[in-house]
Chain A
Amino acid sequence: MKIKSDTFIRNPKDLWKGEPEHTEVRDLSPHIGFNQITSDVVNSLENPRPIYWWAIAICIAMVGVGVACEVHQYKTGLGVSNKSNTNVWGVYIASFIFWVGVSHAGTLLSALLHLTHSDWRKSVFRYAEAMTTFALMTAGLFVIVHLGRLWQVYYVMPYPNERGIWPNFQSPLVWDMFVIGTYLTCSSIFLYTGMIPDLAVFRDNIHDGWRKKLYTFLAMGWQGTDRQWRNFRVAYLTLSVYLIILAVSGHSVVSSDFAMSQQPGWHITSFPPYFVVGALYSGNAALITVFIILRYMFRYEEYLNMDVLRKLVRLTFALAMIWTYLHFIEMATVWYGHDQAAKDQLIFKATGVYAGWWWLFNFLAVVCPWVMAFRRWQTNLPVQMVLSLLLNVGMWLERWLIVAPTLGHSHYPWTFDFDQWPSYIQWGILFGSFGWFGLLLLVFCKVFPAVSMYELKELAYARKVELRHAHAEEGHGRPELATKGAH
Chain B
Amino acid sequence: MSKRHLLALFDSFDEAGEAILELRGAKLKGFDTDHDMIIKSPIEHPEFNRVFGPKPVHVQWFPLFGSIVGCTFLFLLVSGSQANFFEQLKGGKPIVPIPINLVMTYALFMLSGVFLTVLGLFVCAGLPARRLPLYSSKVLDDQIGILVKADEATMPVIKAILTKHKAIEFQEEAGK
Contact = CB atoms under 8 A, between A and B. Distances in A.
A230 B38 CA distance: 13
Contacts of A189: 114-115, 118
Given A166-B82, A204-B137, A481-B14, A239 B117 contact: yes
A204 B127 CA distance: 17
A295 B111 CA distance: 34
B110 interface: yes
A178 interface: yes
A178 B12 contact: no
A427 interface: no
A235 B61 CA distance: 10
Interface string A320-363: 00000000000000000000000000000000000000000000
A477 to B, nearest CB: 13
Contact of A224 (B11, B41, B101, B131): B41
Interface string A225-253: 11111111111001100100110010001
B44 A158 contact: no
A458 B41 CA distance: 11
A383 B6 CA distance: 56
Contacts of B141: 34-35, 38, 201, 204-205
Contact of B104 (A178, A224, A232, A458): A178
Contact of A185 (B114, B126, B130): B114
B170 interface: no
A165 interface: yes
A35 B115 CA distance: 34
A264 interface: no
Contacts of B52: 226
A4 to B, nearest CB: 14
Contacts, number: 193
Interface residues of A, number: 60
Interface string B11-34: 111110000000000000000000
Contacts of A224: 40-42, 139-140
Interface of A: 33-35, 38, 158, 164-166, 168-170, 174-175, 178-179, 182, 185-186, 189-190, 193, 196-197, 200-201, 204-205, 220-235, 238-239, 242, 245-246, 249, 253, 256, 454, 457-458, 461, 480-484
* Closest CB pairs A-B (n = 3): A204-B137, A34-B142, A220-B128
Given A226-B52, A238-B60, 16 more contacts: A35-B142, A164-B86, A178-B107, A179-B103, A186-B111, A205-B141, A220-B128, A222-B127, A223-B129, A223-B135, A224-B139, A226-B48, A231-B59, A231-B121, A234-B60, A454-B42
Interface of B: 11-15, 38-45, 47-48, 52, 55, 57, 59-60, 63, 77-78, 81-82, 84-86, 88, 90, 93, 97, 100-101, 103-104, 106-108, 110-111, 113-115, 117-118, 120-122, 124-132, 135, 137, 139-144
